[in-house]
Amino acid sequence: MRFYLISDNIDTHMGMRLAGIEGCVVHEPDEVRQELEKAIADKETAVILMTEKLVKLCDELVYDIKLKYRSPLIVEIPDRHGTSHISENLNRYVSDAVGIKL
């Protein structure tokens, strides 16, 4: 099992490569979709790390994948420009999955 990074900037990509995590740098929604499909198809990929900016760029796609697929796990990570709003994201996931607003 391995991690895979989908990033919008080179700095995050290089930092993760130093930690042994392979990945790619993309900027357009079509590129994000292609990389997600590629990562999901690879049965060795257990966790997909995505920067906040890309999750916001393709939020519907990411949330659909999170709800439909059991594996791999998609984790939103802050990049050097981002701020992580973990509690807001968790509330949204629960609301989407269960239909209850917290």
Per-residue confidence (pLDDT) for residue 17, from 0 to 100: 93
Q: Taking the model in full, what pTM does it have? A: 0.77
Who contacts 62 (Cβ-Cβ below 8 Å, separation ≥6)?
A: 36, 50, 55, 74, 76
Per-residue confidence (pLDDT) for residue 78, from 0 to 100: 81
| Domain ranges for the chain | 2-98
Tens-place pLDDT, residues 35-63? 999 999 999 999 999 998 999 899 899 98
What class has domain 2-98?
Answer: alpha beta
